[in-house]
A and B are shown apart, each in its own frame.
Chain A
Amino acid sequence: MYAFDIERPTSLADAKALLAGEAQALGGGQTLIPTLKQRLADPGTLVCLSGIAEMKGVTSGPDGVAIGGGTTHAEAAEGLKDAIPGLAYLASRIGDPAVRNRGTIGGSLANDDPSACWPAGALGLGATIVTDAREIAADDFFQGMFTTALEDGEIVTAVRFPVPEASAYSKMIQPASRFPLVAAFVARFPDGVRVAITGASEDGVFRWREAEGALSADFSPEVVTGQPEGPMIADLHGTADYRRHLCAVMTRRAVRAALDGTGGLSSAGA
């Protein structure tokens, strides 16, 4: 690692002031620390967000569920159990137990890895990403691989999720990294169904509109046919065609899990 200074603010206001310069925010560090070790980043100053109590916790209200940006995956999984079981399932299978005890929802969304789990949950539920400056709809937030609507130094302070009638997450795990090879989040609302796919597209997480249309008319696995368009990721773990094929498989499994009320399922893939 290149040398850097580390700042440990205890309030959002202090963190914001510290991030006004060239500094970079550090969430749970489960992606950023490995990146620093590879010398792929040279931030000068890291502003550690884990000591900011006002950015932690899960609260349920009439408008849905709000999760603080500094909430770990493990805390989110526990806090979401009753409110949104599909999202609780998603959080409960990110990485491994030790990663879930450090990694945060805000860090994952800000990083927007094209194979990360949280972006699928946020886009699939139509969440609102709350920052220190504004509120951003999930449909506007994700703008491509590792690219979001966030400005430099902007902090994800919370994420608000509407509560669906039913939802589930289905994930084909890439066993070495435990990221999804492809995963689908499906959510049924009174006014229609949303389907978000992660791990597949070169443009990062996306909504599969054709599947949404079919499922809005008939919420059953059999109606999910065909394949999404667009450039797909190809690497040693799976070809573009394989990933394109998995989109429908994962979506059908997620629909089945949503109907069964199990929250989701995972299987080890290539």
Chain B
Amino acid sequence: MPQVSMTVNGRAVSGEVEGRTLLVEFLREGLRLTGTHVGCDTSQCGACAVHVDGKLVKACTAFAAELDGAEVTTIEGMAGADGSLSAVQQAFQDYHGLQCGFCTPGMVMAGAALLEENPRPSEADVRQYLEGNICRCTGYHNIVKAIMAASGQEVEPVAAE
């Protein structure tokens, strides 16, 4: 079986995997990092989104063995060492950008990836960037507001119209 080594949330990890072991299985079952969710398992919903070498990737649609040597960041790696939330996480709390919370790890990872690429996105930019992240509760309004707020732009501090 292939051996795989990567850096996950700043920590060097390694293990044996099957060829068919998905990144999300390696994270959740191998490393017990269960913050990365499996929603659809068909590459549609984005709940499993993580950063691989700084880029947004669906962890259910990449094999662990392909990512030998990669730097991976999951939702567990977003807060500071002292537990302080990242800007995107804090904004999701402040703007109530979630209801059931299942899609939230992927939404936070997508929002953070967007702000890396485009620090001051328009609302249309945010909505377009979230095309691969599905939320069945919120109707997206407060998720979009949270990401806009995390970029330092003014948004109305109220719930969805």
Chain A residues packing against B (C-beta within 8 Å): 1-6, 8, 26, 29-30, 33-34, 36-37, 46, 48, 50-51, 74, 95-99, 101-102, 176, 178
Contacts and interface: CB of A to CB of B under 8 A. Distances in A.
A101 B131 contact: no
A8 B132 contact: no
A30 B22 CA distance: 13
Given A33-B61, A101-B55, A4 B46 contact: no
A102 B61 contact: yes
B20 A102 contact: no
A34 B63 contact: no
17 contacts: A2-B20, A4-B20, A6-B63, A6-B66, A26-B66, A29-B63, A29-B66, A30-B61, A34-B42, A37-B42, A46-B63, A48-B66, A50-B66, A97-B110, A97-B132, A99-B43, A99-B61
Interface in B25-45: 41-44
Contacts of A96: 46, 131-133
Contact of A102 (B57, B110, B133): B57
B1 to A, nearest CB: 9
Contacts of A102: 57-58, 61-62
A178 B128 CA distance: 11
Contact of A34 (B43, B66, B129, B133): B43
A98 B132 contact: yes
Max chain A C-beta neighbours (<10 A), residue from B2, B44, B131: B131
Given A5-B19, A101-B52, 6 more contacts: A6-B63, A33-B22, A33-B63, A97-B110, A97-B132, A98-B46
Interface in B57-84: 57-58, 61-63, 65-66, 68
Nearest to A50: B66
A30 B43 contact: yes
B113 interface: yes
A97 B131 CA distance: 8
B51 to A, nearest CB: 10
Nearest to A33: B61
B129 A97 contact: yes
A6 B4 CA distance: 12
B61 A29 contact: yes
A36 B19 CA distance: 12
Contacts of B113: 97
Nearest to B46: A98
B65 A6 contact: yes
B144 interface: no
Contacts of A34: 42-43, 61
Contacts of B110: 97-98
